[in-house]
Amino acid sequence: MRISALLAPDIRRILEEDPEQVRELLEEIHPEDLADIVSELEPHQAALLLGRMPAEGAAPIFERLEEHEQEELAEQMKPESVALIASEMAPDDRADLFSILPPGMAEDVLSNLQRVDPQAAEEMREIAQYAESAAGHLMTTWYVTGRPRDTIHVAFEAVRSHAELTDTPIYNIYALSDDGRLLGIVSLRELIIAAKTGEEQPLDPLLHRNFISVPPDMDQEEVARRMAKYDINAMPVVAGDGELLGVITIDDIVDVLTAAQTEDVQKIGGMEPLDVPYFKTSFAAFIRKRGVWLLALFISEFFTQTALRHYDNVLSAIHGAAYYVPLLVSAGGNSGSQSSTLIIRGLATGEVKLRDWWRIAWRELGMGIVLGLGLATIGFFRVLMYPEQHAAFALTVAIALVGIVVAGCTVGAMLPILLRRLGVDPATSSTPFIASLIDVTGILIFVNVAQIMMADVITRFEVVH
Amino acid sequence: MRISALLAPDIRRILEEDPEQVRELLEEIHPEDLADIVSELEPHQAALLLGRMPAEGAAPIFERLEEHEQEELAEQMKPESVALIASEMAPDDRADLFSILPPGMAEDVLSNLQRVDPQAAEEMREIAQYAESAAGHLMTTWYVTGRPRDTIHVAFEAVRSHAELTDTPIYNIYALSDDGRLLGIVSLRELIIAAKTGEEQPLDPLLHRNFISVPPDMDQEEVARRMAKYDINAMPVVAGDGELLGVITIDDIVDVLTAAQTEDVQKIGGMEPLDVPYFKTSFAAFIRKRGVWLLALFISEFFTQTALRHYDNVLSAIHGAAYYVPLLVSAGGNSGSQSSTLIIRGLATGEVKLRDWWRIAWRELGMGIVLGLGLATIGFFRVLMYPEQHAAFALTVAIALVGIVVAGCTVGAMLPILLRRLGVDPATSSTPFIASLIDVTGILIFVNVAQIMMADVITRFEVVH
């Protein structure tokens, strides 16, 4: 049982009876739990609750809400109140809020913010110009800066006054040129050590000038990979001319990774990714997001029926042959699904590169042969368990299995690589789509092997009928 | 092209010609790039290279290697050298190293470490007692502590001397009782602010005593979720009696999340998770990890053939009916795969709870009906396109589709919940397994609908034959 579920009804009651009393009650609760409570309330009640709180108390709650909740809530509030709360939010969260509001409302909030906090409004405009999936949209413009000629004492005072403004950890001091270019970085840790021996020495010799940075248009997932790889807690975002635009901190990366992973899993599962959690997605949105793919896969499976019908002469001649089709094609689908998820995930984490494609192809070919031979052996004896079946048919099933598993492994591995090469997200080659493709391939392999292996049985059947 | 691929051959050559020269060359390169270079070298060359470096230079490289690389490399080195490098590693990385070494070797390294750095050896023993997936195994024992009665000045000196020892960011100061219990936390940011007004004041009033902590046996993924939810950068690990055991930092959480996600995707893809990247996994390991599942799925698909054979009288009576089986069962498999990935991911992120099962069941039932009716309409007209088919058969296909999609949605959604309830990782209910289950169900639905809708056709066929 979550605390929010227990508290929400009480708070709903107090809100109706004595709204003033709510404020004290809320001071003791962690903002994350408060955000849970706000999620449980109706939007108009939540708006009332946040409206009663000072903006610096409401902002941390608002920041923690899901995007669709922020939107619903903002629509219930006056643009002035939203602007006041926005002025207390971290710059990156503020830019996110701006990007989800309906355009007209966003303009209203922005013009109100312009009055309350002109600098915040300016920052909001700057961050909002980058794509939602770009590094620029994830960066905060709150960080500590200095000049190389500043003394350690001056830098330390900058850290102190920054600490008073925000509640986020301070990792580094960024030394800028007069025109705002990033010249070097010194960590707070190093500054603390250096302060011991001499507060009046300049920052300059402490600076790391060989730092790693990212451009503002880099994809957030790529930024996440680099920060994980190089163990960087705060990544500077730098423009082409060297200007420092902002900083991305490691805690935002955790959210990026989780969201990216959810999207990938949903694509692999064969649907449009949801933007909101399962229970917040409307029934209609589900039908749309699932229906489109389900329909596409259904229509692509029509080809299995067309192919089977086309080979009616073969399948009618070998009584019971058609009953083996689901067994055979599923072996292809399963091996293809294994290969494609391996490659999709490898591409996502960077362990697999596009240029490795031929190594992958060889490997998957080898694996297909070995795995296929394994299944073929079992399939062969399975068919022989039925006394009415020819040994030739058992051999047909076995040979077809090797071909089908090889096709599954190679197609399953190569399709994600091809899609990435074409600039499409490889997760979109979702496992079910690969399965449909391999189902048809599997039928063609099976029937063609049968035509060769059992030519006499087929001819005899055709003569009789 | 990675820098490591360019440099590795040069370094290999220099190692052979003039090993002394290597050391200078390496000083300019980031440890992560050096780790890449070491990965490209043969283990004996890598051991030679690391052996030439001072332990404090070798440790950051060693820490960044993959586990299987650490193991290969350690086997090429003397236990004394490994112990020296281990003494310079962060406590959590050191414990990881200890857990991957073969038992005999681990003992040798530990007894050497005991001589070089007794405290490190003690810490290593402590961390290694926790399960590899537990919070205790992820925590570092390097953190800044104080007493509540310490002055701000004393606390600041503790931060400074800690900063000189490690290169990790410092988030907090942990105030302990005389017997090591965690009493409260103050962030470095707050300490910096407080230092301005009075360095001689006690720490006590600054302490947050209402902190969030985790026990050492909590699963690392659960720790990751909490840190993400509450935006915590450093999570204290506290024993049952309140003793502070260690701290887990946000950068380790990024690795936990990435590894957990890879595991989930591979399970959804229908295989045992790999422990190492695609190209580092041996061919034999692949065959084992993929073969087991492929075989299990293959054998479970035998039931499709058994079921089809059992209903031979129905399928023979309606000419071409068997050719619709792959089309029909794939609709069930695809809808099941959508539902199962939605629920598996929802359970993983915590958006979906076990107690919501009946809400999910109702929702998926509704979605199955709507999506099934959509496919049924298209399926109905598709069958009618063939002049030789009865309208009764078109209706059979349509009704079966509704039933199959409903079965797909509900089974696909409920199976992960059931597995979690039984304490099994829901990702193990991998999409292909659900597909196999639904394939058989789909055949049963199809044949039974046909028996009802086309009873006269079937009877007439049986009389003739």
Is the pLDDT at A206 greater than 80? The verdict is yes
- Per-residue pLDDT tens over the stretch B181-224: 999 999 998 998 888 887 889 999 999 998 999 999 999 988 99
Same domain? For A284 and A358 the reply is yes
Is the pLDDT at A275 greater than 80? The verdict is no
Q: Is the Cβ pair B371, A293 closer than 8 Å?
A: no
Instruction: Count residue pairs from A and B with Cβ separation < 8 A.
Output: 325
Q: What is the dihedral of CA A299, A305, A306, A310, to 10 degrees?
A: 170
Let me know: does A274 contact A285? Beta carbons within 8 Å: yes
In angstroms, rounded to a whole number, what is the distance separating the alpha carbons of residues B197 and A417? Answer: 60
CA nearest to B323, candidates B412, B402, B386, B408: B386
- Last residue of some domain: A249, A264, A299? A249
Overall average pLDDT of the A50-58 stretch: 80
Same domain? For B68 and B168 the reply is no
User: What pLDDT is attached to residue B429?
Assistant: 59
* pLDDT lower than 70: segments of chain B: 1-7, 18-28, 429-431, 465
Overall average pLDDT of the A78-85 stretch: 86
User: Is A270 within a domain?
Assistant: no
CA nearest to B283, candidates A409, A435, A354, A345: A409
Give the DSSP letter string of A264-319: HHHHHTTSPPPSS-GGGS-HHHHHHHHHHHHHHHHHHHHHHHHHHHHTHHHHHHST
Instruction: Give the nearest chain B residue to A193 (CA atoms).
Output: B160
Q: Poorest-confidence range of A32-41, A417-426, B102-111?
A: A32-41
CA nearest to A184, candidates A199, A204, A155: A204
Overall average pLDDT of the A433-449 stretch: 89
The verdict on pTM exceeding 0.95 is no
- Per-residue pLDDT tens over the stretch B299-341: 888 999 999 999 998 998 888 899 999 999 999 988 998 898 8
Interface contact A384, partner B, CB < 8 A: no
User: Is A266 within a domain?
Assistant: no
Q: Report chain A's mean pLDDT, rounded to a whole number.
A: 85
DSSP letter (8 states) at residue B241: T
Same domain? For A440 and A377 the reply is yes
A64 contact residues in B (CB cutoff 8 A):
231
User: Is A22 within a domain?
Assistant: yes
Stronger pLDDT, A183 or B232, i.e. the higher one: A183
In angstroms, rounded to a whole number, what is the distance separating the alpha carbons of residues A339 and A411? Answer: 8
User: Is B264 within a domain?
Assistant: no
User: Is A137 within a domain?
Assistant: no
Q: What radius of gyration do chain A's Cα atoms show?
A: 31
Q: What CATH number should be reported for the domain holding residue A282? A: 1.10.357.20
Distance of CA A89 to the CA centre of its chain: 24
Helix (H, G, I), strand (E, B) or coil at B244: strand
ipTM, two decimals, is: 0.73
Interface contact A277, partner B, CB < 8 A: yes
Same domain? For B84 and B212 the reply is no
CA nearest to A145, candidates A227, A244, A279: A244
User: Is B136 within a domain?
Assistant: no
Determine the distance in angstroms separating the CA of A317 from the nearest CA of chain B, rounded to an integer.
13
Domain count, chain A: 3
CA dihedral (A403, A408, A409, A414) positive or negative? positive
C-beta atoms surrounding A155 within 10 Å: 25
Same domain? For A105 and A31 the reply is yes
- Per-residue pLDDT tens over the stretch A388-407: 888 899 999 999 999 999 99
Best A338, A339, A377 member to test B by mutation, with max B CBs in 10 Å, is A338
Interface contact A377, partner B, CB < 8 A: no
Same domain? For A168 and A96 the reply is no
In angstroms, rounded to a whole number, what is the distance separating the alpha carbons of residues A384 and A388? Answer: 8
User: What pLDDT is attached to residue A5?
Assistant: 62
* CB under 8 A, 24+ apart: contacts of A183-191: A183/A148, A183/A207, A183/A209, A184/A148, A184/A208, A184/A209, A184/A211, A185/A211, A185/A236, A186/A155, A187/B169, A188/A159, A188/B169, A188/B170, A188/B188, A189/B163, A189/B167, A189/B169, A189/B170, A190/B163, A191/A152, A191/A155, A191/A156, A191/A159
Is the pLDDT at A272 greater than 60? The verdict is yes
Q: Is the Cβ pair A287, B370 closer than 8 Å?
A: yes
Best B62, B193, B231, B274 member to test A by mutation, with max A CBs in 10 Å, is B231
Is the pLDDT at A323 greater than 90? The verdict is yes
Same domain? For A377 and A434 the reply is yes
> Tokens in use for B21?
């020269």
In angstroms, rounded to a whole number, what is the distance separating the alpha carbons of residues A51 and A76? Answer: 10
Please name the residues in contact with B125: beta carbons below 8 A apart, sequence gap of 6 or more: B110
C-beta atoms surrounding B58 within 10 Å: 25
Interface contact A441, partner B, CB < 8 A: no
Same domain? For A234 and A308 the reply is no
Residue B165's domain comprises: 144-249
Please name the residues in contact with B1: beta carbons below 8 A apart, sequence gap of 6 or more: none
Same domain? For A284 and A433 the reply is yes
Q: What CATH number should be reported for the domain holding residue A47? A: 1.25.60.10
Q: How confident is the model at residue A448 (pLDDT cuts 50, 70, 90)?
A: very high
Overall average pLDDT of the A209-217 stretch: 92
Same domain? For B290 and B410 the reply is yes
- Per-residue pLDDT tens over the stretch A328-374: 999 998 899 889 888 888 888 777 888 888 999 999 999 999 999 99
Q: How confident is the model at residue A26 (pLDDT cuts 50, 70, 90)?
A: low
Is the pLDDT at A1 greater than 50? The verdict is no
CA atoms within 13 A on the CB side of A247: 21
Determine the distance in angstroms separating the CA of A108 from the nearest CA of chain B, rounded to an integer.
30
Same domain? For A230 and A316 the reply is no
Q: What CATH number should be reported for the domain holding residue B189? A: 3.10.580.10
Same domain? For A300 and A230 the reply is no
Interface contact B292, partner A, CB < 8 A: no
> Tokens in use for A306?
């067309």
CA nearest to A375, candidates B194, B290, B149, B130: B290
Beta bridge partners of B219: B134
Q: What is the dihedral of CA B301, B303, B306, B307, to 10 degrees?
A: -110
User: Is B286 within a domain?
Assistant: yes
User: Is A382 within a domain?
Assistant: yes
Is the pLDDT at A169 greater than 70? The verdict is yes
Place of tokens 């450093």: B234
